[in-house]
A and B are shown apart, each in its own frame.
Chain A
């Protein structure tokens, strides 16, 4: 078991997973953002590798990808950024990327360099389990957890196949759509968590649309092991681009409120 599994086991409560796009709005401020999220209480950091055509992402994360690419972000620099995080933190780091980035870099080289930098897990947003053969082989060799998504339309047969390959945690897609902030927790999210919970003991993390401590608490009540927030974090970065201090403060506060919402049902909130 690597760092992701250990984190889920040792926490004794649901985790808060914080997503940002690596290099948004530039390399240095991206390091500061990751640091603020970790200091605020994020249990796992998920870094988006910026891609020109992120079809699973809504407008907020698309804009972040554009800013990061505009600032000259490359896969090599993403690995450098992870190394930088490793200087001050041991929280698990998961990369969220698209297939072409990995393919172009070279699948074995990508996983080797990611592992060397301190990456613990990789999720390829446009790689269903059917296309995962070449990647799975390399992921196993490098000891990196290959993370897969599951959604309400995933058939039982495909779910079994995903479960055979998935490592670290299952990423449950809360609603049918792209990433973005929702005003309320999608009604299907709870049902999805419950139905998957019946079938596996693997940690379940819910993402897409999760933005507020209320959402996170709702996810925890449903029996999930983690809530993932992305667009809400990217929006904070976007709103505070001209003031790094404000950005860091706001991210810390946000991470802390999300982290506190993840106490086990019945436990008093700390914040």
Chain B
């Protein structure tokens, strides 16, 4: 889908300072070589299976199916080691970094899930890890900070800008400029300059490829609807991409925050315009002068003003429908899935569950709906408990 220029349609590209160009060119060449290398593919599959726990189940949700009047399945990325889909990418990139002779990994994190997954891969492959994390996110995701540190990663607080994911990416990029010779920047989503959106997508498509097989096995056919949450968009593209040429409808649920009209949200595709952030031309949230706008979401992982360039293309092609799910709706879905199915979703994934709940009445009995449950919700229970405290 991406050509020699590293573009998805008109989106993508490499808008980075000159000092990063050599590293991106080296990364692209190494990746193209390694992705065809049998030993690499075998090693990666080995770790995904025996260490990370793939394939993850495709769980039929009896109660939810009854309630919504369709066949509802969850793709259980919450059961992947680390508690989210992130490890698919970090294992792949950490192996790639080792292959390239890099001695150190740096990463950004919002909710902390990508930081945790990088810490896991780093610990297992003996690569030191430094994770840049906004101060505000550190405060709301304490548990993940502790997990990263337990596994030997150093968490570096980011105090610039909005002190969230966007600024963590800025700091990681700045750090990378000064250390490109021995350091790999292990970016956590399908964002950033080429070749990152391509590499991360390739490592995440294991989700969609498994769903194809599992759906064929259980239902004898492909699903009718796919739903995933979209922050940067890696779990969504991982699910969607293997189905792009099939007759399957796809919905990406963005963070509606307090509502699109309030301006306090993270719904980049629903409420943004094209521009350049973090090295790529893509939709983004910006003000009338091209300054990057502040965002808000109940979920730290979706609190980001940019989105992967491939999603921007899929939006313009109308191949995927992107919708905004507000905080309240996500919170309702969080409780709904916990109560109905005994599965506590990550607040990010709760946005996808909410999108499925909206389909009630519009889908028929035989429709197969697959929701990507991109992560588990343990990290969010303190936030939800605090909100309940507010109410009562």
Residues of A with Cβ closer than 8 Å to B?
51-53, 55-59, 62, 69, 74-75, 98-101, 103-105, 125-128, 130-131, 148-151, 153-155, 158, 173, 176-178
Contacts and interface: CB of A to CB of B under 8 A. Distances in A.
Dominant SS at the B interface? mixed
A126 B279 contact: yes
Interface string B126-156: 0000000000000000000000000000000
B253 interface: no
Contact of B289 (A101, A149, A176): A101
The 3 closest A-B pairs by CB, nearest first: A104-B290, A153-B22, A177-B178
Contact of A153 (B160, B174, B180): B180
A101 B290 CA distance: 5
Interface stretch (B8-16, B92-100, B348-356): B8-16
A173 B19 contact: yes
B130 to A, nearest CB: 16
Given A100-B286, A101-B290, A103-B290, A151 B19 contact: yes
Given A55-B173, A126-B16, A103 B277 contact: no
The bracket for how many chain B residues form the interface is 20 to 34
Contact of A155 (B22, B178, B275, B279): B22
A100 B277 CA distance: 7
A58 B174 contact: yes
Given A100-B276, A131-B14, A176-B177, A53 B22 contact: no
A149 B177 CA distance: 14
Interface string B306-347: 000000000000000000000000000000000000000000
B248 interface: no
A177 B177 contact: yes
Contact of A53 (B16, B21, B161, B180): B161
Given A55-B174, A178-B177, A149 B15 contact: no
Contact of B292 (A52, A58, A155, A178): A52
Contact of B15 (A52, A58, A131): A131
Given A101-B289, A153-B22, A178-B178, A53 B15 contact: no
Nearest to B293: A52
Contacts of A53: 161, 166-167, 170, 277-278, 292
B17 interface: yes
Contacts of A150: 18
Contacts of A148: 18
B291 interface: yes
B286 A104 contact: yes
Contact of B21 (A58, A62, A103, A128): A128
A128 B177 contact: no
Contacts, number: 102
B289 A74 contact: yes
6 contacts: A56-B17, A75-B289, A100-B276, A126-B17, A155-B22, A176-B178
A52 B291 contact: yes
Given A150-B18, A158-B21, A173-B18, A103 B160 contact: no
A265 B179 CA distance: 34
A62 B173 CA distance: 14
B170 A100 contact: no
A149 B275 contact: no
Given A126-B17, A131-B13, A105 B290 contact: yes
B19 A125 contact: no
Indicate the member of B13, B21, B161 with the most A CB atoms within 10 Å: B21
Nearest to A162: B18
Contacts of B178: 176-178
Contacts of A59: 160
Given A62-B160, A178-B177, A153 B21 contact: yes
Nearest to A97: B290
B15 A127 contact: yes
B15 A153 contact: no
B292 A176 contact: no
Given A105-B290, A126-B17, A176-B181, 14 more contacts: A52-B291, A53-B278, A55-B173, A75-B289, A100-B275, A125-B17, A128-B14, A149-B17, A153-B22, A158-B21, A173-B18, A177-B177, A178-B174, A178-B178
A93 B160 CA distance: 29
B358 to A, nearest CB: 33
Nearest to A150: B18
A154 to B, nearest CB: 6
B17 to A, nearest CB: 4
Interface string B6-42: 0000000111111101110100000000000000000
Contacts of A155: 22, 25
A103 B276 contact: yes
A101 B23 CA distance: 25
A129 B291 CA distance: 23
B288 to A, nearest CB: 8
A181 to B, nearest CB: 14
Contacts of B166: 53
A153 B25 CA distance: 11
A154 B22 contact: yes
Nearest to B19: A151
Contacts of B291: 51-52, 69
Nearest to A130: B14
A98 B16 CA distance: 10
Interface string B159-190: 01100001100100110011111000000000
Contacts of A149: 17-19
Interface in B233-261: none
A211 B65 CA distance: 67
A158 B22 CA distance: 9
A56 B21 contact: no
B14 A99 contact: no
Contacts of A153: 19, 21-23, 180
A130 B278 CA distance: 16
A169 to B, nearest CB: 14
Given A99-B276, A153-B22, A55 B17 contact: yes
